[in-house]
């Protein structure tokens, strides 16, 4: 018993409990003391700090050394990096200024006539006191007067021109326009033009005169360049089936004949305008026929070569020709002029009046004189089934003059 009691007394120690209890109150008391101590001065400091902070000391921010020091501009001025880079880069404005200023020279050009207009107005307004307003109005009026500067002359000169004599062939005209647009589809539109020479009066059709007037229109339209233009005389009922079939362009001293009879330059013919003018063009025969035959004589008599390397005879399957009946109006007096190898042509056309319709390509011939009028009592109808010679050649000195083949297109 005694052994057990000793062991119990030795092992049990209460100081551990005492230490734990002592630490707990010690820590609580200072904490409680500090909390009230800190709260009281904090309340005092808050109003103290708010009153001086009241944006009045912000004045210090205004004179802050940022403005006085001005370090940013001071550093930029010596560096001068931006202007240094701009000076070499000024190559772009240098290039732009001359380019812009050169076309701007148009403005001073327009100002000169405007000043002339104002001078004339000042003289007329000597009685009126208000001149400045009216002068400004006159300036506005004179500016549109200068607008018609894009003149038609600026159009490119065509390499070749189709001259198509025309009257009363509406269906053939519609087909010709549509098909020739296909034939020339691959050709630069600036290279060619098509003009329909329309005889508007009620006299017999003068096919040779219409071709000559077509030349005169080209001469008036391109006075400085017409000689080098290739004239393509093309009947309205004749054209190739396929495109790029003919090379229409020719050279001085050479005539290209593409279709028809070999004894007459009819159907489709190319000739330089200078050569055409030199031979005086076609004869101005009233009614149908003869002019193609005499044109060939004039070409050969003037030493001009006829090129038939691309020639196709009448009714060839490569050429499309629309039918226009078998009857032709012929005139005996005109036939006699042909036999006499008349020299009439371009130079005999006078009193010419026409207008041009750009929408249709029509040169509407209102009036013209050829030097000779048609003798209507000498006109008669001829049927082509009876041959292509409407009249017998006259008998001279007991011998019959040999008749020549006629062409009727």
Residue 71 has phi, psi (to 5 degrees) of -70, -35
Higher pLDDT residue, 338 or 408? Answer: 338
Residue range 159-400 forms a domain whose CATH class is alpha beta
pLDDT tens digits, one per residue of 147-180: 555 444 457 999 999 999 999 999 999 999 999 9
User: Which range in 33-37, 150-154, 291-295 is most confidently predicted, on average pLDDT?
Assistant: 291-295
In the chain, domain spans: 58-123+134-142, 159-400
Largest CA distance in the chain: 197
Q: Which of 238, 220, 235 is nearest to 167 (CA)?
A: 235
Those residues with Cβ within 8 angstroms of residue 219's Cβ, 6 or more apart along the chain or in another chain: 226, 273, 277
Q: Which of 384, 258, 234, 239 is nearest to 321 (CA)?
A: 239
Q: What mean pLDDT is predicted for residues 259-285? A: 97
Kindly report which listed range (322-331, 362-371, 387-396) carries the lowest average pLDDT score: 387-396
258, 269 contact by CB (below 8 A)? yes
236, 258 contact by CB (below 8 A)? no
Q: What is the pLDDT of residue 393?
A: 65
Those residues with Cβ within 8 angstroms of residue 161's Cβ, 6 or more apart along the chain or in another chain: 192, 193, 194, 195, 214, 218, 229, 230, 231, 232
């Amino acid at each position: 018993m005694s052994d057990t009691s000793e062991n119990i007394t030795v092992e049990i120690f209460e100081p551990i409990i005492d230490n734990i209890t002592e630490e707990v109150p010690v820590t609580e008391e200072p904490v409680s003391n500090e909390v009230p101590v800190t709260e009281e001065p904090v309340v005092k400091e808050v109003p103290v700090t708010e009153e001086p902070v009241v944006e009045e000391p912000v004045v210090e921010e205004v004179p802050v050394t940022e403005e006085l020091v001005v370090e940013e501009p001071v550093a930029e001025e010596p560096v001068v990096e931006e202007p240094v880079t701009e000076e070499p880069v000024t190559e772009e404005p240098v290039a732009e200024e001359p380019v812009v200023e050169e076309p701007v020279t148009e403005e001073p050009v327009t100002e000169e006539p405007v000043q002339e207009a104002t001078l004339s107005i000042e003289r007329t307004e000597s009685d009126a006191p208000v001149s400045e307003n009216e002068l400004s109005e006159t300036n506005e009026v004179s500016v549109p007067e200068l607008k018609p500067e894009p003149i038609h002359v600026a159009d490119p000169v065509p390499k070749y021109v189709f001259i198509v004599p025309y009257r009363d062939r509406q269906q053939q005209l519609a087909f010709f326009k549509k098909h020739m647009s296909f034939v020339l589809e691959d050709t630069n539109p600036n290279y060619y033009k098509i003009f329909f020479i329309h005889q508007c009066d009620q006299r017999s059709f003068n096919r040779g005169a219409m071709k000559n007037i077509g030349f005169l229109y080209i001469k008036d339209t391109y006075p400085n360049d017409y000689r080098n233009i290739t004239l393509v005389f093309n009947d309205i009922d004749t054209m190739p089936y396929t495109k790029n079939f003919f090379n229409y362009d020719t050279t001085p001293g050479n005539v290209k004949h593409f279709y028809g009879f070999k004894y007459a330059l009819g159907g489709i013919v190319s000739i330089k305008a200078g050569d055409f003018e030199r031979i005086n063009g076609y004869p101005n025969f009233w009614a149908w026929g003869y002019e193609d035959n005499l044109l060939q004589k004039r070409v050969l008599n003037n030493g001009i070569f006829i090129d038939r390397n691309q020639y196709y005879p009448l009714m060839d399957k490569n050429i499309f020709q629309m039918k226009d009946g078998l009857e032709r109006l012929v005139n005996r007096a005109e036939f006699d002029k042909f036999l006499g190898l008349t020299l009439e042509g371009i130079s005999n056309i006078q009193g010419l009046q026409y207008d041009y319709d750009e929408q249709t390509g029509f040169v509407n011939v209102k009036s013209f004189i050829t030097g000779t009028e048609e003798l209507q009592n000498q006109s008669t109808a001829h049927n082509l089934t009876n041959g292509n010679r409407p009249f017998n050649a006259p008998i001279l000195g007991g011998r019959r003059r040999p008749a020549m083949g006629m062409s009727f297109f």
